[in-house]
A and B are shown apart, each in its own frame.
Chain A
Amino acid sequence: MLRTSYSQILNSSRDFSTAICDRQGRLVAQAHHVPIHVGALPWAVEAVCDFFQAKIRPGDVFLLNDPYSGGNHLPDLTALVPVFLERTLAFWSINRAHQSDIGGATHGAYNPGATEIWQEGLRITPLKLHDAGVVRDDLLHMIATNVRHPHDFLGDLRAMIGSARVGERRLHQLLAEYGLKTLEHAVDSILDAAEAEARACIRTWKDGVFEGESVLDDDGHGIEDIAVRATVTKKGDSLVVDLRRSDPQVKGFVNSSYPNMMSAVHMALAYLIEPGTPKNSGTFRPVKVLAKQGTVVWPFPPAPVTLATNHCAQEIAESVIRALERSCPDRVLAGWGRRFRIAIKGTNPRNGRQFIWHMFHARPGGGASVAGDGWNGVGEGQAAGGIKFGSVEVAETRFPLFFEHHEFRPDSAGQGRFRGGTGAVLRLRVETAEPAVANTAGDGARHGPYGILGGTDGLPHRYRLVAGNRERTLKTKEVGIEVSPGAVFLVESGGGGGYGVPEARDPEAIASDYENGYLTRPAATKRGARRT
């Protein structure tokens, strides 16, 4: 997949997952490039099986992306290959990959203006792309016609199906060597053992009924402070996560599809248990999730959902983690920064061509934990330090952009026994000859990453656009921002949350933060003053 896909988002950013499910749709194994894909694929298998029932045959390839039928959001396309032993369905080999475009009103599917899912892109409900080994060219052509870069799309889709076929071939080898019965037995043992590991970890946590909440800034359509609320009942080695008290669904694209909501809960669990525990359907058996349709975590169609793999997925996970702060204080994490992206579209005066640039710089801080301070500038909680920003030198060479300043943001981290990671500051000058246009998508300009167990919150994002002597603060979900030549984006990203009470921080660590400029003098003095 890495070697054969066309798009940068796949071969460089690795925004895809490969997985094997058994015939019951249970997740057996998954390549974990993308935390928010964890545990989501069984719903895709279920959707295909429900729709096609007995009409699944060797040589078939299925496709879907619709968040209301097994998908998580429209840009994530899923290809499913059923693996047969003679006439018996034995396994599913699956590839889910983020497409660089999936049609709809805006390029790249993130459309802050959308109030209905149709404005976000092409909806693909479960369909059979290969019928018993024969490609349905008509369908393929129809889909390719509805996306913006059909050539790349078709290349990526070939890579996806190719990789799922490699999985199929290896599974055939296993089936030939061991037979279905032995493999099914092995799958049972693998899932049971992962379940046992997860339960053994959960058992050490304190029993009780706990509540946690995480609040989104807004939906971009006037609804502010949207809360995701989790009531977590921890008893013995099981958890019940009740999200039913979350706020009602909203107009904009921060609603979560059902599979994405389940993944977000699984992601929280994956972050809390031992990192080495396999992530399969067994791991997630100890958790029962209760949710109500019509809330922001599970809306009625046709609510838009595209931002949900970032937000509110991160807030769902956060509400679960925050609920458990007193249950497993040695495992919970302070808040990580949220995504707040800018895309700039304009004409490059050096060659007269159109360009689109996506900002991945100025990453926010990571949250602190019992292991120590948060990581400075490693980005959003749902990506957990997995997204690379490109070279400043390369960006300046290719785009009419000038990076005046790109450093950590002092005093941005939440304080605590361990402090959060710092955010970053970017001063970016746009060197076009004609006005350019920018969009934003994200959250976290009102709510900073949360502190935990007495730690303080990190600073929220603050993004401004300065043109001449005019300055204005950018909102997290805006379209059509006019950027005049020479305008400067002044981006300050949030710092991670602190862990434990600030009074417990080692004075030497504060001195070192000051010496190294992570804290400025006033902030350091304040910290020191609080100590004495």
Chain B
Amino acid sequence: MTTFRIGVDIGGTFTDLAASDPHGKIYVAKTMSTPADPSEGLLEGLAVLAERLGMSRRDLLASTSQIIHGTTVATNALLERKGARVGILTTAGHRDVLEMREGLKDDRYNLRLAPPEPLVPRARIFGIEERMRSDGTAEIPLGRPSIDRALGRLKSQDVQSVAICYLHSYRNDAHERATALAARAAFGRDVYISTSSEVLPQIKEFERFWTTVVNAYVGPVVGSYLARLQARLRQAGFKGKVLILQSHGGVAPVNESIRNAVGSVLSGPAGGVAGGQHAGRILGAGDLITFDMGGTSTDIALLKGGAPQLTSEKRLGVARIAVPSLDIHTLGAGGGSIARVQGGILRVGPESAGAAPGPACYGRGGTSPTVTDANLVLGLLDPDTFLGGRMRLDSAAAHGTLAALGKHLGTDPISAAEGVHRVVNTNMAEGIRIVSVRRGIDPRRFTLVSFGGAAGLHITEVARTLEIGRVVVPDVAPVLSAWGMLGSDVRYELVRSHVGEAGLLPARRLRSLLHRLEAEGRKRLGNHPGQIQVRRSLDMRYGEQIFEVEVPLEGVDPEAADLVEKAVERFHKRHDELFAYSAPGQEVVVVNVRVAVVGVLPGTPVAGESVDAVARSPRRTRKIYLGSWAIVPVHDHRSLIPGKRIDGPAIIESDMTTVLLRKGDRAKVTPQRWLDIGVG
């Protein structure tokens, strides 16, 4: 019996599915999402997929071992404020950690800005008599009467979820655990309970408390959705395992995904990065920057040695989320971004015409000049072949909006369009600098991987600006995320704070912390059939600094006698890479110990795409504007055979995207029929 693995990405508009058979052949399907209950769209998509394969849904599900699912249920609950009614128990005298925001306000020069509505009103935050010291001893013992009083109040407030957040609980979690037991006894199973020492046992109360409260806020919503999904899949005949995509790009089973619900809040763009990673493996390229340009925004991520970079510094709306998440930079610029003149300066985005009304040239009522309109005016898009001819573009409308923009700028429509195109390219290059140069990484030796319908017209010029020599355009854009999920692994990220000078930290103490975290990770992983990888790292800083640097311990033997010295050496080196200096001899502090336990899933073998019968399309040409008008050849992507070479200037069109090769760009068609472009 064939065993399938299926990746499912549920987005705002479409539900994408990608299935792989044991030979690596990929089958895809796309259906409309059903936001009221996303599992409906998923089952519908499975039916479409089954039909593609010429089998019933029940048979498909019966022969499927894994469904890997990316969901934005948690994200939407937080963004739309549709999470649970949360109550918070916290250390008496410290009720306002969340709302104080460490003293920071958004949008500095906007002083006429109302403060954000708190996620949990202060009336549902209770101070509990207790206090741990930084060394883990109790300054004030846990006061049971104050817990009982607070629980009584929370009951009368009908809370569905309780977050327990005490100071220094990363060091000693006894008070939090005892409080959780009391809450469980008072509420029974109906209420979702999170403690900060379980969600993120890490120093810095602002980050830890916020992350815990977000977990409490989205947990019940994620729990009921996944329980329903799992039940419906079982009913439909599925006997395999459901795995949920996490913000760090790995996956976790359903029960873990409910317990640690905050772990999927930032998983939205993770599928795209997984896709980039997968593409990198196929190409044998390790250092990549993925560039996913859609209608309203562009996601940029950097993969070093094939591994995406993680960060603990993310925010979503008012919430601070400090669990390790893929370091993805999202730019408010895409094909639908609106161009305008502000303060005499041509600006593009972040306002977007979106899908509705869309760019003016869509003819759906859009009246603002967008990037797509500019590209059409420059001849870079063909009004008759856009999206494989499924949508005819209105050149006159595009021209009209660019003429109006040009009037503002005192120039003609063509120059205005060229200006818009250039501004977008500059913004994109800046976005890539943010994930590379600002992180102390030189982007020039990286390969730029281009995804998304709008990327192809901009990507080589962006590469040229940054002196990047290689651009790859894979042809998996329609279901990139779902496809990428097939390449992800089961992953647990564990952390524990240990604040102390490295010089005073015995190797055996560090070793035992690493062992403990590893054991915890292996326990959660359970009986994993495949290979297991363990990645260790430390967050460290110089004595007087207030921020930490993550120092990977790859290649350092945890059993080595000079473990601590080795780690310190790595820290100086890493600090030098990031900040262009190091200070050997200065006091070094270890703040957090991190272990990632990764259960490697069977990678999807890659078959060369089965080449459909290709009708050689007639050679076409088009007049495009690249500083001056020129006639360039237009190639149909589907007609390109592996090994073919195309030199710019040229245009390559497919159903999903149009790629512009400028003078000096040299494209080669790979065995997968992707474009591998050398940028001159």
Instruction: Say if A and B assemble together.
Output: yes
With contacts A384-B111, A394-B203 known, is A194 near B104, CB below 8 A? Answer: no
- Whether A190 touches B345, Cβ cut-off 8 Å, given contacts A373-B114, A376-B99, A397-B203, is yes
* A2 contacts chain B at the CB level, 8 A cutoff: yes
B392 within 8 A of A: no
- The reply to whether B104 and A193 contact each other, CB–CB distance below 8 Å, is no
In the complex, which residues 281-310 of chain B have their Cβ closer than 8 Å to any Cβ of chain A?
A: none
Cα–Cα distance between A373 and B109 once the two chains are bound (Å): 17
Question: Quick one: which of B586-602 are within 8 Å of A by CB?
Answer: none
Known: A275-B109, A375-B115, A393-B205. A8 touches B546 (CB 8 A): yes
Bound-state Cα–Cα, A279 to B342, Å: 12
CB-defined contacts of A194 to chain B, threshold 8 Å = 343-344
Assuming the contacts A378-B103, A392-B94, A397-B499, asked whether A193 and B205 have C-beta atoms less than 8 A apart, the reply is: no
Interface residues of A in 26-82 (CB under 8 A from B): 32, 35
Segment from B40-48, B261-269, B574-582 that makes contact with A? B574-582
In this assembly, does A3 line the interface, its C-beta being within 8 Å of a C-beta of chain B? Answer: yes
**In the bound complex, do residue A407 and residue B96 qualify as a contact, i.e. CB atoms below 8 Å apart?**
yes
Contact across chains for A378 and B105 when beta carbons are under 8 A apart: yes
Indicate if A205 sits at the interface (CB-CB under 8 A): no
Give the dominant DSSP class at A's interface: loop
Q: How far, in whole Å, are A365 and B172 apart by their CA atoms in the complex?
A: 34
Within the assembled complex, what's the spacing in Å between the Cα atoms of A2 and B579?
8
Q: Is the Cβ of B96 less than 8 Å from the Cβ of A377?
A: yes
With A4-B580, A378-B105, A385-B108 known as contacts, the answer to whether A192 contacts B344 (CB < 8 A) is yes
B566 within 8 A of A: no
Chain B residues 305 to 345 lying within 8 A of chain A, measured CB to CB, are 341-345
A32 touching B94, Cβ below 8 Å: no
User: Is there an interface contact between A190 and B580, defined as CB atoms closer than 8 Å?
Assistant: no
Known contacts A379-B103, A392-B205, A189 near B344 by CB under 8 Å:
yes
Give residues 197-248 of B contacting A (CB, 8 Å). Answer: 203-206
Closest B residue to A380 by beta carbon equals B103
Q: A8-B546, A391-B204, A391-B206 are in contact. Are A517 and B103 (CB under 8 A)?
A: no
Q: Contact: A35 with B109, CB < 8 Å?
A: yes
Question: For B99, what are the chain A residues with a Cβ–Cβ distance below 8 Å?
Answer: 376-377, 408
CB of B383 to closest CB in A, whole Å = 32
Our pick among A2, A189, A391, A408 for the contact of B96 (Cβ within 8 Å) is A408
A393 and B167: CB pair below 8 A? yes
| A520 CB to nearest B CB, Å | 13
Assembly CA distance A427 to B440 (angstroms): 41
Query: Would A275 and B94 count as touching, CB distance under 8 A?
Result: no
* In the complex, residue of chain B having the shortest beta-carbon distance to the beta carbon of A321: B111
Q: How far is the CB of A341 from chain B (nearest CB, A)?
A: 13
Cα distance A279–B110 when bound, in Å?
Answer: 13
Interface residue range, chain B: 35 or more
The residue among A331, A384, A427 with the most chain B CB atoms within 10 A of its own CB is A384
A191 to B345, CA, bound (A): 10
B608 at the interface (CB under 8 A from A): no
Q: Is the CB of A376 within 8 A of B115?
A: yes
Minimal beta-carbon separation of A11 from chain B (angstroms): 8
- A396, B546: Cβ atoms closer than 8 Å: no
Instruction: Specify which chain B residues have a CB less than 8 angstroms from the CB of A193 in the assembled complex.
Output: 341, 343-345
394-441 of chain A: CB within 8 A of chain B: 394, 396-397, 402-408, 421, 424, 427
Across the interface, which residues of A come within 8 angstroms of B95, CB to CB?
407
**Measured CA separation A515–B134 after assembly (Å):** 33
Docked-complex contact B133 and A406, CB < 8 angstroms: no
B538-561 vs A, Cβ < 8 Å mask (1 yes, 0 no): 000000111100000000000000
Chain B's closest residue to A401 (CB) is B134
Say yes or no for A338: interface residue by CB 8 A criterion. Answer: no
| B203–A517 touching, CB < 8 Å | no
* Least CB distance, B266 to chain A, in whole angstroms: 22
Complex contact A360–B103 (CB within 8 A)? yes
Chain B residues contacting A6 (CB-CB under 8 Å) are 581
For B345, the chain A residues whose CB sits under 8 A away are 190, 193, 278
B101 touches A378 (CB 8 A): yes
Contacting residues, chain A, for B96 (C-beta < 8 A): 376-377, 406-408, 424
A277 interface residue per 8 A CB criterion: yes
Give the residue name and chain of the B residue nearest to A100 (CB): B544
Q: Which residues of B contact A375 (CB under 8 A)?
A: 105, 115
- Residue pair A384, B105 in contact (C-beta under 8 Å): yes
B579 and A388 contacting across the interface, CB-CB below 8 Å: no
Bound Cα distance from A25 to B345, whole angstroms: 20
Q: Is the CB of B115 within 8 A of A421?
A: yes
Question: Does A386 interact with chain B (Cβ within 8 Å)?
Answer: yes
Q: Is B103 in contact with A369, judged by CB distance below 8 angstroms?
A: no
Closest residue of chain A to B205 (Cβ to Cβ) is A393
Q: Which residues of B contact A427 (CB under 8 A)?
A: 93
Whether B579 lies near A4 (C-beta < 8 A) is yes
Can you list 15 contacts pairing A with B, beta carbon distance less than 8 Å? A190-B343, A196-B344, A271-B109, A331-B112, A371-B113, A373-B114, A375-B105, A375-B115, A377-B96, A385-B106, A397-B499, A402-B133, A406-B96, A407-B95, A408-B100
A residues lining the B interface (CB < 8 Å):
2-4, 6, 8, 11-12, 32, 35, 155, 189-194, 196-197, 270-271, 275-279, 331, 333, 360-361, 363, 366-367, 369-379, 384-394, 396-397, 402-408, 421, 424, 427, 515-518
Additional A-B contact list (15), CB under 8 Å, known A271-B109, A276-B343, A366-B115: A193-B344, A277-B343, A331-B112, A367-B111, A370-B112, A371-B113, A372-B114, A373-B115, A376-B115, A377-B99, A386-B104, A390-B102, A406-B96, A407-B96, A515-B121
